[in-house]
Structure 1
Amino acid sequence: MAIVSYPKKTSAEWFIEQLNVENAKLLAFVLVLGFIGYHGILHLRYGPDSCTWLLTSGRYKGDHEWQPYGCMLHKYSKTDARRCLRYLAFWGKYNSFAFIGDSRLEQLYEYFIGVLKTRSDLDSSYSTIDHRMPNYTYVDSKLKLFVTFIWSNDVSKTMVDQFRAWQRSNRPPSVIVASTGLQLVKNRNTTDVILEEYKRNLTQLVQPIDALASRGTQVLWKLLEPVDTTLIKDDVKINNHDIDAYNSAAMEILRHSEARVWGAARLVAAGSAGGETLTRTALRHCAQILLNMFCNDHMNFNDGSCCAQPESYTQLQMLTFALFLLCAVAASLRYIWRWSQNIKQKMDGYALVNQPTVVHPPSPVLALAKLGMIMAYFYLCDRTNFFMKENKYYSEWSFWLPVGYVFALGLFFTDDSRSSRVLHRNQTDEWKGWMQLVILVYQVTGASKVLPIYMLVRALVSAYLFLTGYGHFYYTWKTGDTGLVRYFRVIFRLNFLTVVLCLTMNRPYQFYSFIPLVSFWYTLVFVIFALPPHITQSSSHTVESKPYQYLYIALKIMGLLTIVTVLYMSEVFFQKIFVTRPWKALFVNSDDDIHQWWFMWKQDRYSMAYGIIFATAYLLAQRYNLLDDNNHSNLFTPGLSLTATLLAFIGIGTYVTFTFLCNNTFDCNEIHSYVAFLPIVSYIILRNVSGALRTKHSNLFAWFGTITLELFASQSHIWLAADTHGVLVLIPSAPILNLILTSYIFIFTAHEIHKLTSIILPYAVPDDWRLVLRNFAIFLAILVPIGIHDGMF
């Protein structure tokens, strides 16, 4: 008997074999462990206090906005700043700021009170401004605000005495900002003797600074800002080398005190350098840093994480993670038991040489254990300050360039489709995939501020609901399946991850706004089509004998539109329905407000109906041979195909023109719900009228299309940050590399969650409807105590 020999694989072939999804997930897991170790070292070395990051380092982004190192900066308007001070005054806090230093600090004092002052300041009973050269004082009695500036162009007896006076005061300032030295650089030669004298004088401040810090006063020493020497007169002797020498001396002495060295102010000014005076850009950013430092921990601004403590965990979160831990223990014991049994068999001599490997079915307990580990990573990213966060950054290039890359990459993976019919599975997955990728780019860049882009993304969301209506109606028509098992499987698939995230991340159901929206519309459509008379292909395949079946379809669609119209006509009636207990908790946000649900609902109130109407029209066109999608040819005759293509381009062009012409978001949203079908149907025509396009699809986009739900639900926790207001930072100061690696981990984590959901699904929703109702009753029994605790009943 001849022995067949197989050629040994080359290293290139072996490497290509390793490029698969499972190995990619393993690499993502290793990266996560590496980043946990890296950030753990950063915290051990520099501490976890984001206030230190705020005051120490940062950089300018492309829009010339300041980005602190590792945390998010809220832009305080006059209203925001006064609201913060009013809130603190209400709770009895005395808002006192003191600035002591030279002319540059005087500039910051003037700019700072300019942020706080209003027209009401003309009333002397409301506020007073006392200018007694060289010292100034601003008082706002309603805000319990006291801001003072004390002139001191050196670390002189005046500065030392003032610090000691604050030390003896019964009510020292809340914040003291000190800085001086520019006049020394300007008027005296910088020698070692002068610097030593400067250090000795600074040493006298250490004791009062420490005493003040022990009483809750935050003392900031602002480093001297560099100058643009081209803007300084020739007879003025100021150079950046001398400025750096004074800054080094200050850091050397004050690092032994409780004073915070405000080094970020120097970096802010370096990116917007002026002459002897600071630019308005530098003053604006410095004032914002001060307000973020003072207010963030007391205010509820999602985009201000600097100096803000993360929210504390709840008992429900602890219980949820405890159950995940229990699953992990059970899965580990099961694995150890199987391993010990195999060892025992081998030791007893029962192992067969050619014994086939036993493939055990995926364990739901192991799946839950893995999901718990993933949720722990979610919690670490989003509910703690362990990993860093940064503000979003939008520019035309930052949005359109990644979108262009995405489509170029998607076209590279074009392949033949298994079906030639309109909106076949490969095509709908592809459509969902590229839409989700565009939405992700939209989210990470903060492009919602651009109205045309915002409206185009609204059209993509409407398209997803359109496909949901089309897909479920088409499935019902073909199979006649309107049973409970089908309904609960779809609802479980939609909501499993969302419910787990609500429990582990302490977020309301409406936080994942798109999931409740799809679930609601699917439930409504399911109920309408599950009610008799049932509409299926099997009951109406002989349209000549039973033409009234199509009348039933029309009546059901009209019923859906009637319900939508009635709810839309009265917002009060709408609210009374959806704020009724116990389901109120499903439709209100964390502030117990239903307006977000109302806004989302009314924007796409007709999108599901559009999908059902299109599906009905498509089925009728097939029945009467108005189109032919059973082969690779065009849908219509050449003349009709050309006309349809032209009309489709006009439809998309009309909607794009509308997005540029509408003046405000409110008007655009009101019109959108009536014209949302236009770009969607136009795209379907362009995608399907040609047989060559209809029978091709992008494997890459289709792959993403299978995990759209997981991508949508996960993005706000392990890719974005601070409830989608910022971005997660694993690699600080390298935004492009950080985005690539966080995206990589995010995508393959979503794919693993999709896989785990598929394992758990048949156990949660079995084939027997009685078992399904049993499991649903168990779920309600778990949910009721949670609801009682949270006030749902």
Structure 2
Amino acid sequence: MGNNGNLSKAELFIQNLNAKNAKKLAFALVLGFVVYHAFLHMRYGSDSCKWLLSAGRFKGDKEWQPYGCMLHKYTETDTRKCLRYLAFWGNQNHFVLIGDERLRSLSLEFIDYLRSSETENNSKQSSNTKNTENVQFTDYKLRLRVEYIYANEVSKSLIDEFIKWEHEEDPPSLIIASCTYPTFQRGNVTEDIQKAYEKNLTRLVSPIDRLYAKKTKIIWKQQDPVDQESSPDEWKNVRNEDVDRINQAASNILLYSEAKIWSSSNMIASGLVDEFADGQKLSSLTLKHDVQILLNMYCNDYMNYNDGTCCSSAEPYTIIQVTTYAFLAVCASIATAMYVRKLIVKWRGIHTYMPLNQPATTDTQSPLSALASLAVIMTYFYLCDRTNFFMKENKYYSEFSFWIPVGYVFALGLFFTEDSKLTKVLHRDQTDELKGWMQIVILIYYMTGASHILPIYMHIKVLISGFLFLSGYAHFTYWWQTGNAGLVRFLNVMFRVNFLTVILCLCMNRPYQFYFFVPLLSFWYSIMYLMLSLPPRITAQIAEANPYQYLYVVVKFITMLATVTVLYMSEVFFERIFV
């Protein structure tokens, strides 16, 4: 069995399941992901606003997931915070929706979402009950104005509206347009009708481009499908094939303008077409999704929500980030040069010798090689976390996505075991393995968005507390058995715990408290070190010789807990000491 030639394929496969090969496989996968996403960006572009408006899919519970970016769910508070922020900086929050009756329903939903109890005495709304009447809503405190203008075709009056806005000193912030032609409900979209529609749209391109030059965003909303089986009589002749032809014609013409084509609204409506009232009136859920898309497009770049990456530009880098990455890049360059030099020396057949009393080292053990690996890892983290290079999705919890990984981890724990030379309860090997499994389960918990499931949330909190206890237990038993409570030991532990976190703070431009668990571990380890290092220092050997020494340990623990509790409960006392 000592010779690889005598091993079976299964035994050889298990033998190759080691950390070194796992690192190689992980690096190959990451490199493949980088190449794949680079190809996607070259092929389809990197504008997340375009992704938001162009495509997506439904998740469970009919939640909409845009392609490649995360959609923040704006509440009334979030929306007003965004509009108030823009108003504070002097921006006019002026929205115009111009189009047919179906766009009017979106404007009414949008206004209902923006209206709140605070705006009852600070707003003005004017509308009529007819579906073809204009609507206007104003909130003076937020410098907000929402208008709906009826237009069932690309006529001279519609073009004149664009020209009028073009000459205004403060044109609208956002214009959403969508219309067909007067006889669209008769169906039978012929080639002549399509060409006439395209010709009318061509006249709209120049006004759109001139408005875009004045910082106005223009969106052309594609026509939504209909439920042909339950449509009213006046919509019976409209087929979804006709809708697709009209949408394709609009896309072909406006592709050469500065207008953005909003096709994801069509996809949302297609997925919820069964909920349409009268077969053609958009459902409430469809309109809510459309409103959320509009708010994400308008506000994300100003609000910087962690779960709202659509239409959000990358954070500006700081001097600290530039300095950190420059240092890592220099280390990586030197390590690469050393590796290339070694290959050249080996290729030339030159052998190097070292003294017998000097231990043999490999390139992977040198500090420069370690820093080069760290540079690659931090660059990958930055691409994932601070840019839209890699596609992102909102977390969505499902029983399958959470329990399958947990079950897989449980199965691995059953079938892969190792022997240990230690026999005590909660010895080093046991606690290390327990903490490793805990970290994997906690990672699954955060990745699958299970925090809003109360039973799982409570169990994970117990797991985190258990992890904290095991960490403290391991440090305490080490000190209890060895008596090593020196400053070197303290700095060694603090460095091991905090090194990666501090590097992340420097590279990601985040405060130390952002990575909350490491500060938590560091705090309690510091408290425990302070308690144990104060005289009298009691160890296992001293306590065995004099059992009364246990009393000092108990008094130390009670004093520590009492002090922390008082500081936690009394904000005034805490501020008098530390502020």
Asked if Structure 1 and Structure 2 have the same fold, meaning a TM-score greater than 0.5 normalized by the shorter chain, the answer is yes
Contact 1:154 1:184 in 2 (8 A): no
Which of 293, 296, 306 is the equivalent residue of 2:297?
A: 293
- Distance, in Å, in 2 between the alignment partners of 1:489 and 1:7 is 44
Structure 2: gaps of 5 or more residues: 354-358
Report what 1:201 is aligned to: 200
Q: Which residue number corresponds to residue 562 of structure 1?
A: 562
Are the counterparts in 1 of residues 402 and 444 from structure 2 also a CA contact under 8 Å?
yes
Give the structure 2 partner of residue 181 of structure 1: 180
User: Which residue is 2:455 aligned to?
Assistant: 452
The amino acid of 1:128's aligned partner reads: K
- Structure 2 matches for 1:475-624, cutoff 5 A? 475-542=478-545, 546-577=546-577, 580=579
Q: 1:7 to 1:474 in 2, by over 3 A?
A: closer
Q: Distance in 2 between matches of 1:446 and 1:508?
A: 23
In 2, Cα distance between equivalents of 1:497 and 1:141: 49
**Which TM-score applies when normalising by structure 2?**
0.92
The yes-or-no answer on 1:467 pairing with 2:470 is yes
Question: Which stretch of structure 1 is more off in the superposition, 9-18 or 312-321?
Answer: 9-18
Q: Retained in 1: the 8 A contact 2:76–2:114?
A: yes
Counterpart residue number, 1:325: 329
**1:310 aligns to what?**
314
Is 298-307 or 560-569 further displaced after alignment? 560-569
> Gaps (5+ residues) in structure 1?
352-356, 581-793
In 2, Cα distance between the equivalents of 1:338 and 1:160?
A: 70
Match of 1:192 in 2: 191
Residue 232 of structure 1 corresponds to which residue in structure 2? 231
Q: Would the alpha carbon gap of residues 184 and 265 (structure 1) be closer, same or farther in structure 2, given more than 3 Å must change? A: farther
CA distance in 2, matches of 1:7, 1:490: 44
Q: State how far apart, in whole Å, the 2-side matches of 1:503 and 1:548 are.
A: 49
* Residues 426-483 of structure 1 deviation map (CA, whole Å, 9 limit, x = unaligned): 3212321222122112111222222332221111111112112222221112111111
Q: Is the 8 A contact 1:220 1:261 kept in 2?
A: yes
Contact in 1 for aligned 2:4/2:12 (Cα 8 Å): no
Structure 2 CA distance, aligned partners of 1:393 and 1:291? Answer: 20
Aligned length in residues: 565
Identity of aligned residues (%): 53
Q: What is aligned with 1:164?
A: 163
- Which residue type is aligned with residue 371 of structure 1? L
**What is the SS of the residue equivalent to 1:231?**
coil
In the TM superposition, 1:677-692 aligns within 5 A as none
C-alpha RMSD of matched pairs (Å): 2.5
- 1:6: Cα distance to partner? 8.7
Structure 2 Cα separation of the partners of residues 97 and 87 of structure 1: 16
Contact 1:190–1:242 at 8 Å: present in 2 too? yes
1:340-359 equivalence runs, <5 A: 346=349, 359=361
Return the alpha-carbon distance in structure 1 between the equivalents of residues 522 and 181 of structure 2: 64
CA pair 244-122 structure 1, distance change in 2 beyond 3 A: same
- In structure 1, distance between residues paired with 2:426 and 2:451: 29
Is the 1:63–1:395 Cα contact (8 Å) retained in structure 2?
no
Q: In 2, Cα distance between the equivalents of 1:258 and 1:336?
A: 49
Amino acid at match of 2:299: C
Change (3 A) 1:576 1:370: farther
What CA deviation, in whole Å up to 9, does each residue of 1:226-246 have, x standing for no partner?
122232136621211111111
2:84 partner SS:
helix
Q: Does the residue aligned with 1:99 lie in a helix, a strand or coil?
A: strand
Residue in 1 that maps onto 2:154: 155
Task: Give deviations 1:231-272, integer Å, cap 9, x for gaps.
Answer: 213662121111111111111111111110000100111111
Distance, in Å, in 2 between the alignment partners of 1:350 and 1:519 is 45
1:589 is matched with: none
Distance 1:464 1:148 in 2: 56
Report how far residue 194 of structure 1 moved.
1.1
Q: Distance in 1 between matches of 2:342 and 2:409?
A: 45
Alignment of 1:37-436 (within 5 A): 37-123=35-121, 126-131=122-127, 134-181=133-180, 184-233=183-232, 236-273=236-273, 274=276, 275-339=279-343, 346=349, 359-360=361-362, 362-436=365-439
* Shift, 1:341, TM fit: 5.4
C-alpha separation in 2, matches of 1:415 and 1:218: 62
Report the 3-state secondary structure (helix = DSSP H, G, I; strand = E; otherwise coil) of the residue aligned with 2:302. coil
Encode CA deviations 1:558-581: one digit per residue, 9 max, x unaligned.
222222222123023334555x4x
Distance (Å, rounded) in 2 between the aligned partners of 1:271 and 1:509: 44
Q: Which amino acid aligns with 2:186?
A: N
Partners of 2:52 and 2:264 within 8 A in 1: yes
Question: 1:8, 1:484 → 2: CA distance?
Answer: 52
2:301 partner SS: coil
Matched residue SS, 1:467: helix
1:779 corresponds to which residue? none
| Partner SS state of residue 61, structure 2 | coil
* Other-structure match for 1:24: 22
TM-score by length of 1: 0.68
